[in-house]
Amino acid sequence: MSNGVLEATPYTAARILVDHLYAQSFPSIPGVDIGTAYILAEDDVRVGGDLIDVYQFNNGSVAVSVADISGKGAKAAARAAMVKYGLRAYVSSGLTPAQVLRNLNLLYIETSTFDPEDSDSFVSVFLGTIDQEHRVMTYASAGHDPVLLLSPNRPAQVLPPTAPIVGVFEDNKLFHQRLVYLPPGGSTLVVTTDGVTEARCPDGRFIERAEVMSWVESSRNLSAQEQANALLNSTHDFCGGKPQDDIAILVACFP
């Protein structure tokens, strides 16, 4: 501290950037209950590649996204910043989710071309834009883990990917989107990274989808944050307290 001014070091500047980039609390959005949970894998790298974002636009629509960037450390953080703010910029400009991922794919490939040390980087992305008035979500999922939608009096619905991972294929005709209705009376969206769906217990056994579905079903009547915490705790316990991959969870509840 000098003359009342904080002297920024490369470490403190990076820490501020990372804390903002990987923020897990978001401004409250009327009509949506948001819960998030995030934990890094048990290793010495303190910057992961999983990313969560929730954003409300001026027209009242809401965008939710979860991404899993390959790699860790400073390279992953730089890519995560590009993905997070690229998604926001493209959605804000009025593009549909499929168009957003097409543009992000081109940007990612072009950036990789000029980065020979990280030319094989890629990212899986789930992006959903929600029209609350009509209770419709338009989503595009680029090679991301299947997403769960829980509706009243129905078993969980699996929302499959609609496109390949971002950063690999230049053919933008491969990127599509789907519309999903969010029934009134309590619809819940559960989005995770593969730290959940590919979790391994200490003896090496991979988790089965039925187990994840069971955890999600057992907490569906809780608040969004309680559901996110419960899923994180169940996954962490399954891994024997030592997850081998980062875990990111987003739960969005619509009354």
Domains of the chain plus CATH, in order, are 32-254 (3.60.40.10)
* 63: confidence class by pLDDT, cuts 50, 70, 90: very high
Q: Specify the residue for token string 């000098």.
A: 2
| Torsion sign, CA atoms 203, 208, 211, 215 | positive
CB 142 within 8 A of CB 133: no
Q: Is the pLDDT of residue 203 over 90?
A: yes
In angstroms, the CA 172 to CA 150 distance is 31
Q: Specify the residue for token string 């965008």.
A: 63
| Average pLDDT of the residues in 165-193 | 94
Q: Specify the residue for token string 């995560």.
A: 80
| Average pLDDT of the residues in 78-98 | 91
| Average pLDDT of the residues in 197-226 | 93
Please write the tens of the pLDDT for every residue from 14-34.
Answer: 455 556 666 667 888 999 999
* 1: confidence class by pLDDT, cuts 50, 70, 90: very low
Q: Specify the residue for token string 């003896």.
A: 203
| Average pLDDT of the residues in 149-173 | 91
Q: Is the pLDDT of residue 70 over 50?
A: yes
| Average pLDDT of the residues in 215-240 | 94
Q: Is the pLDDT of residue 129 over 80?
A: yes
For the beta carbon of residue 124, count every other beta carbon within 10 angstroms: 24
pTM here is 0.88
Structure confidence at residue 27 (pLDDT): 83
CB 212 within 8 A of CB 186: no
Q: Is the pLDDT of residue 3 over 80?
A: no
Q: Specify the residue for token string 């926001």.
A: 88
Nearest CA among 114, 43, 40, 38 for reference residue 79: 114
How many angstroms separate the Cα of 9 from the Cα of each of 2, 18, 80? 13, 14, 22
DSSP run (H or E) holding 218? helix 209-218
Structure confidence at residue 75 (pLDDT): 77
For the beta carbon of residue 66, count every other beta carbon within 10 angstroms: 25
| Average pLDDT of the residues in 109-135 | 83
Residues 6+ apart with CB under 8 A from 220: 150, 188, 227
Structure confidence at residue 11 (pLDDT): 47
Mean pLDDT of the chain: 86
In angstroms, the CA 217 to CA 211 distance is 10
Please write the tens of the pLDDT for every residue from 90-113.
Answer: 999 999 999 999 999 999 998 876
187-192 and 178-181: which strand pairing? unpaired
Structure confidence at residue 136 (pLDDT): 96
For the beta carbon of residue 184, count every other beta carbon within 10 angstroms: 11
- Regarding predicted confidence, which is higher, 243 or 126? 126
Task: Specify burial of residue 137 (Cβ count, 10 A radius: 0-12, 13-18, 19+).
Answer: buried
